[in-house]
Structure 1
Amino acid sequence: MSDQLALLKKRGLLVDNESAALDYLARIGYYRLSGYWYPLREIDKQASLLHKRPIRSDCFVPGSHFEKVVKLYVFDKKLRLMALDALERIEMALRVDVAHLLGERDPQAHQNPDCLHGNFAKKVRANGASKGKTDHQVWLEKYENMLHRARREPFIAHHKEKYNGQVPVWVAIEVWDFGLLSRLFDGMKHPDKNLIAKKYGLAEGKTLAQWLRSLNFIRNVSAHHSRLWNINVLELSPCPQGWPTMKNTRPFMYFVIMAHLLAVICPNSTWAQRLVDLLRVGVTSSSQLLTLEDFGAIKGWEQWLLQNQK
C-alpha cells in the first residue's frame, strides 16, 4: 500500500493524511479507487490530438487531493444505497402485481407456456448457447436453480412436501431476483403487461418492460459495489414521451424512473427528497470531481425528481 501511495504522490496527488490514505487503499483497493480519481488526471494534449478524443495522462491536475477522491467514493456509495432502497420496493411491488395477475390465469402460470406470449414461450432460439430452446425454457432453468438454492426455506419445503413440488406463482415470486422478474414480465402477453403498466401511468407494457431491464442493470451495478454516478448505462430505455430530453446512457433518467414508480408504490415516501439532498451535498463536497452533467442531470433536475411527491 505504501508503494501505491508513493506512486500517487509522485504523479501529483496531494495527500493530507497519509495514515488515513493507506487505510482507504487497504480497505477499498487501489483499482476500485482509481475510477474515482480518473477525472483528476490531466488530459494528454498530444495523445488526444492523435486519437481525436480526450486521453488522460498518469499525472494529476495540480491541486488534486486524495481526500476529494474519498469523498466522491463515499457519495457514490450513498447513491448506490439509494438506488437499492428504491429498487427493492419496486421489485417487491412488481412481484405482487405479476403474481396476482398470472395467478388468476393459472396457479402455475409462470410454468405454463399458454399463459405467456408466444415469442417468449414457444419461439425457439436459432443460435447461441441456448439454441433449440425457447426463452421461457431458459427462464425456467434459472428459476429451477433459484428454487433449488431456496429448498430449505420453510415455505418452499412445505410446498415440496405437501404439494408434490408444485409451487404456485404467488409463492414462486419469493425466490425470483430482479432479473428473473424483468424477463418474465417481458414474456407476458401484451394485454397483461399493459394492465400492469396502466397502474404506473404508462400506456404500454412494452415501456415498463424496457424500464425493468434498465433498472436491473442499475441494480446489478449497485449490488456489486461498482461506480454508479457517471457510469455508461448499457441496458437502455428511450426517454419517455412528454419528458424533457434526458441522456438515456447516464443514470439520472433511471433515477427519475425510480421516483416515478415509487410515487405509485409509496406515495408518502421521502426517497426523492433524500436523493435531491444527497446530490446537492455531493456536488458541493466533490465539486472538482462530480458534475451533474456527468450524472446526466438536466436543467430543472430537482423538479423532475420531486414532481410526483405529494
Structure 2
Amino acid sequence: MKPLKPWRSFADQLQQLQGRGMQVDDPAAALDYLERLGYYRLSGYWYPLRAIDPVASVAQGKAVRLDTFTPGSRFEDVVRLYVFDKKLRLLALDALERIEMAVRVDVAHLLGQRDPRAHQNPARLHGNFTKKVIAKGPDAGRTQHQVWLGKYQTALHRARKEPFVVHHQEQYGALPIWAAIEIWDFGLLSKLFAGMQHADQQTIAALYGAPSGRAFAQWLRSLNFIRNVSAHHSRLWNINVLELSPIPPGWPAALNSAKPFFYFCLMQQLLRVICPKSSWGQRFKTLLADEFPVAADQTVALSELGAFPGWDGWAPWLQP
C-alpha cells in the first residue's frame, strides 16, 4: 500500500497547481475557491484538463492522465465548470421535485381507490414483489416488499411528530396511501412503483408517454440516481450513470443512456405532461448555450454530458 499523500496548506495547493501548468490569473480568488470548496472537490472539474500519457494509454488500452495540465488550462475555466455543474444540479432537482410529486399522487390515487392501505397490502401489489424471497445479500430471506416496508417504517418514525402523522396514528393506527406519500422519498416511490401490478404500472406509464410500465419503472430508478447525485452535491455533468434506462423507440440514435443528458431529456418529456407551460426546458437550453465553458481544444465539451449536435432542435426541446 502506498502512503497517503501529505497534507498541504491552501497556498501550497495553489502553488502545486501552478507548477503543473495551471494558469491562474487571479491567485487571491483561486485561493478563496480552494478554501471554500476544497482541492479534492475541484479536482473532478480539472481532471479533463490533465494531459494524457500516450505511452501508458496505449499500454493499458485506456486514457491515462498525467499530473500536468494541457497548455492553456485555466483555473477560471475550472470554476466556471463547477458553477455550471451546480446550476445543472439545481435544474435537475427542480424538475425531479415536480415529477416526484406528480407520480406520487398518480400512484396514491390509483391504488387508494382499491385499498387505502394498498402500500402495505401484498394483495394489491405484484407477486414477485410480495412473495419472492431475496436469496443473497443483507436482505436475504425477506421479500422486496418487506424490505420496502422496513424503509417505510423508518421514514414514518422520522416523521412521527408531524401533525398529520400524529393525527392518523392516533385516530386510525395507520396512514392511508394518499397521506403516506408525504413521507416517501424518491427511492421509496420508485421501488413501490416497480412492485405494482403490471396493469397498474401501464396505466400510469401511459399518462407520461412511456413505452411500457416496465420502462417507466426503470425511468424512475434512473431519475432517482440523478436525484441522489444532485442532492448530495456530487459532480453531475459528466458522470457515468449507473442505473441505465433504455432509449425509447423513435428517439435519436445519438442519445447515450450512460450519460446525464439523456435523463434530462426524460425530465423534459415528463414535465411537458405535468406542467406544459413550464420554462424549465428553456432554462436548460440557456444554461448549456451560455454558461458551459467550452475549451478551444475541446478538452472539455458538451459531448461528455451526452449532448449531440442539433439536440435543441429536437421536438421535446421546442416550445409547444
Say if 2:22 is the partner of 1:13: yes
Q: Identity, % of aligned pairs?
A: 62
Aligned with 1:237 (options 245, 256, 262):
245
Q: CA deviation at 1:203?
A: 3.7
| TM-score after normalising by structure 2 | 0.94
Unpaired stretches in structure 1, ≥5 consecutive residues? none
Conserved? CA contact 1:15–1:21, under 8 Å: yes
Evaluate the alpha carbon distance shift between residue 211 and residue 303 of structure 1 in structure 2; reply closer, same or farther with a 3 A threshold. Answer: same
Say if 2:226 is the partner of 1:224: no
Name the residue aligned to 1:105.
114
- Between the aligned partners of 1:305 and 1:78, the Cα distance in structure 2 is 24
SS of equivalent to 2:308: coil
Q: CA deviation at 1:63?
A: 1.4
Name the residue aligned to 2:185.
177
Name the residue aligned to 1:95.
104
Deviations 1:66-119 (A, max 9, x none): 111000000000000000000000000000000000101100000000000000
Name the residue aligned to 2:313.
303
Q: CA deviation at 1:204?
A: 1.3
Unpaired stretches in structure 2, ≥5 consecutive residues? 1-9
Conserved? CA contact 2:81–2:292, under 8 Å: no
Name the residue aligned to 1:147.
156
Moved over 2 A (4+): 282-290, 303-309
Say if 2:222 is the partner of 1:214: yes
- Between the aligned partners of 1:292 and 1:226, the Cα distance in structure 2 is 18
Q: Which amino acid aligns with 1:244?
A: P
Q: CA deviation at 1:304?
A: 3.1
- Between the aligned partners of 1:182 and 1:282, the Cα distance in structure 2 is 32
Q: CA deviation at 1:49?
A: 1.9
Evaluate the alpha carbon distance shift between residue 308 and residue 13 of structure 1 in structure 2; reply closer, same or farther with a 3 A threshold. Answer: closer
Evaluate the alpha carbon distance shift between residue 215 and residue 305 of structure 1 in structure 2; reply closer, same or farther with a 3 A threshold. Answer: farther
How many residue pairs were aligned?
309
Instruction: Give runs of aligned pairs for residues 12-31 of structure 1, distance below 5 A.
Output: 12-31=21-40
Task: Name the stretch that deviates more: 119-128 or 189-198.
Answer: 119-128
- Between the aligned partners of 1:266 and 1:309, the Cα distance in structure 2 is 13
Aligned-CA RMSD value: 1.3
Aligned with 1:50 (options 59, 83, 94):
59
Say if 2:266 is the partner of 1:257: yes
Conserved? CA contact 1:117–1:190, under 8 Å: yes
Deviations 1:27-83 (A, max 9, x none): 111011000000111111121122121111000111111111000000000000000
Conserved? CA contact 1:121–1:136, under 8 Å: yes
SS of equivalent to 2:41: helix
Aligned with 1:120 (options 129, 138, 152):
129
- Between the aligned partners of 1:211 and 1:163, the Cα distance in structure 2 is 35
Evaluate the alpha carbon distance shift between residue 244 and residue 212 of structure 1 in structure 2; reply closer, same or farther with a 3 A threshold. Answer: same
